[in-house]
Structure 1
Amino acid sequence: MQHPMVERIQRTGYPIYSPRRQEYGTDALGNEVFSGDQILVFEDEFFLVETLMNETKEALEVIGATYEIAQ
């Protein structure tokens, strides 16, 4: 298992940080979220989708979490 930042760099060729992107905040698991990132929102918490395992996404969907784009 690799760190999500390493996986993103391998997949896209560059890290998540860009001075043109605004920081949205830190999700419930401590991941930095920037505007434009896909998040799962449940009650007062949000989670960065790209760092979640499929089983976690499914569990959050079952309990009512919704997919949104961080603004």
Structure 2
Amino acid sequence: MNHPMIDQIEKSGYPNMVEQPEHVGIDYFGDEILDGDDIVEYDGEIILRDNLERYLTQVMEFEFKTA
């Protein structure tokens, strides 16, 4: 006699335990953008908010300093 969960898995396969967010694109640096991610659009480029400082320093040559 099997556990009921084992019987269910044998009949219908493993359930999707974690719902995956939908992929909606790639940002300037090639990072995957998922549904719900914060993005910034500038001059036709899409940048993940997490990559904004990187974009400003590497691409726009901004310098961040402490006063």
> TM-score band (shorter)?
0.3 to 0.5
- TM-score normalised according to structure 1 size: 0.44
- TM-score normalised according to structure 2 size: 0.47
Which structure has more relative contact order (CA 8 Å, sep 6+)? It is 1
Structure with a larger share of its residues in strand: 1
* Structure number with larger C-alpha Rg: 2
